[in-house]
């Protein structure tokens, strides 16, 4: 959706009844046929827009594309999502959010895209990001805490996404795979990539990028064994705008409480209860090599506790976990 189409959609959302074509022409400095083209484009995207001669246009139904006009009315946050930049297509929302953060974007600014041409995952992997089906967004955070606490942010985000998914899809069997994936049916439903700009004692910003497979049904063959979507798990479709607002509505209070206390402990029971890894035998690949063992839980600051074959418990603060078959 280009910017003008999105602005026209905003106006249609904001209007209680019909909005006259003439008013739209004046406001956006365009001809009637240009207005009509934007309306047609919105219809092609799934919006039901009634047009009555002499009265104008009225938005009757919307498909839940995560533009500001759809997301804002559903927000209960103070900061998260109050500034929301939507791209019909972009390379990566993390990349865009980092650029905005460097230009001074405030905490809670969200960049969201319908399509990513260079979506990125952890370990420099690609994040498959087709148009029209999923959620790809990044939140700018400016946490005034010691940088040693920053690795806890993905866990806060994962808990927020997990809560929102459970609220949207009753009965969904989703769990949190430490440190930052959401799994369902043994496959990945959501991935989180945090990137930061920091000095040794101070983080300038942290961008938390979140990708959720929402209505994707045609999973590319090469990731069919490892990826799933909400639609595949539940058999129904979801509004991406509503899901985005719901995630932000949960993420902000979790983050604020954590900022206030500097303590992840209140969230640990939730993370443990919904842990995908607890009790499993895994291998963790980290920067210092790999370690195998059985997961016994989480440490006070969110590290994974791993008991090796000799009964020694290791504290793992980062890495990529795989279940041992």
Residues binding ligand BTN (CB under 6 A)? 92-94, 116, 119-122, 125, 127, 136-138, 181, 191-193, 209-211
Q: How far is the CB of 233 from ligand BTN (least distance, A)?
A: 17
Q: How far is the CB of 182 from ligand BTN (least distance, A)?
A: 10
Q: How far is the CB of 247 from ligand BTN (least distance, A)?
A: 12
Q: Are 162 and 176 in contact (CB under 8 A)?
A: yes
User: In a 3-state reduction of DSSP, which class is residue 298?
Assistant: strand
Angle at 78 between CA 75 and CA 84, to 5 degrees: 60
Nearer to ligand BTN, 27 or 197 (CB): 197
Q: How far is the CB of 239 from ligand BTN (least distance, A)?
A: 18
Beta strands in the chain (DSSP E): 48-52, 56-61, 84-90, 110-116, 135-141, 174-177, 181-184, 187-199, 202-212, 281-286, 289-298, 304-307, 313-316, 320-323
What letter would DSSP give residue 307?
Answer: E
Nearer to ligand BTN, 195 or 256 (CB): 195
Q: How far is the CB of 106 from ligand BTN (least distance, A)?
A: 19
The DSSP string of 97-123 is HHHHHHTTPPTT-EEEEEEESS-B-GG
Q: Which two tokens stand for residue 24?
A: 């739209």
Residue nearest to ligand BTN (CB): 191
Nearer to ligand BTN, 12 or 135 (CB): 135
Nearer to ligand BTN, 38 or 87 (CB): 87
Nearer to ligand BTN, 81 or 209 (CB): 209
Q: How far is the CB of 179 from ligand BTN (least distance, A)?
A: 10
**Scanning the structure block, which residue is given the tokens 């533009």?**
67
Nearer to ligand BTN, 192 or 295 (CB): 192
Q: How far is the CB of 183 from ligand BTN (least distance, A)?
A: 11
Give counts: helices (H), strands (E), the chain. Answer: 9, 14
| CA dihedral (263, 317, 325, 123) positive or negative | positive
Cis bond before residue 64 (omega within 30° of 0)? no
Nearer to ligand BTN, 80 or 127 (CB): 127
């Amino acid at each position: 959706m280009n910017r003008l189409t999105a602005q026209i959609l905003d106006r249609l959302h904001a209007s209680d009844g019909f909005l006259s074509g003439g008013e739209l022409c004046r406001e956006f400095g365009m001809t009637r046929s240009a207005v009509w083209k934007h309306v047609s484009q919105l219809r092609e995207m799934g919006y039901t827009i009634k047009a009555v001669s002499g009265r104008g246009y009225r938005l009757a139904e919307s498909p839940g594309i995560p533009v500001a006009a759809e997301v804002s009315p559903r927000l209960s946050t103070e900061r998260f999502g109050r500034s929301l930049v939507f791209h019909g297509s972009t390379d990566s929302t993390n990349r865009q959010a980092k650029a905005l953060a460097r230009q001074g974007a405030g905490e809670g600014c969200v960049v969201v895209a319908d399509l990513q041409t260079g979506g990125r995952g952890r370990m420099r992997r690609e994040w498959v990001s087709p148009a029209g089906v999923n959620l790809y967004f990044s939140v700018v955070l400016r946490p005034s805490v010691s940088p040693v606490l920053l690795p806890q942010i993905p866990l806060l985000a994962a808990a927020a996404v997990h809560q929102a998914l459970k609220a949207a899809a009753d009965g969904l069997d989703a769990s949190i795979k430490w440190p930052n994936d959401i799994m369902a049916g043994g496959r990945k439903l959501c991935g989180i990539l945090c990137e930061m700009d920091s000095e040794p004692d101070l983080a300038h910003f942290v961008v938390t990028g979140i990708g959720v497979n929402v209505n994707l049904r045609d999973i590319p063959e090469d990731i069919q064994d490892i990826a799933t979507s909400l639609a595949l798990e539940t058999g129904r479709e979801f509004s991406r705008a509503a899901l985005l607002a719901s995630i932000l509505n949960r993420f902000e209070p979790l983050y604020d409480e954590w900022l206030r206390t500097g303590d992840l402990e209140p969230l640990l029971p939730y993370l443990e209860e919904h842990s995908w890894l607890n009790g499993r035998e895994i291998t963790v690949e980290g920067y210092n090599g790999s370690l195998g063992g059985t997961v016994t839980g989480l440490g006070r600051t969110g590290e994974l506790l791993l008991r090796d074959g000799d009964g020694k418990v290791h504290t793992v603060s980062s890495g990529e976990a795989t279940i041992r078959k």
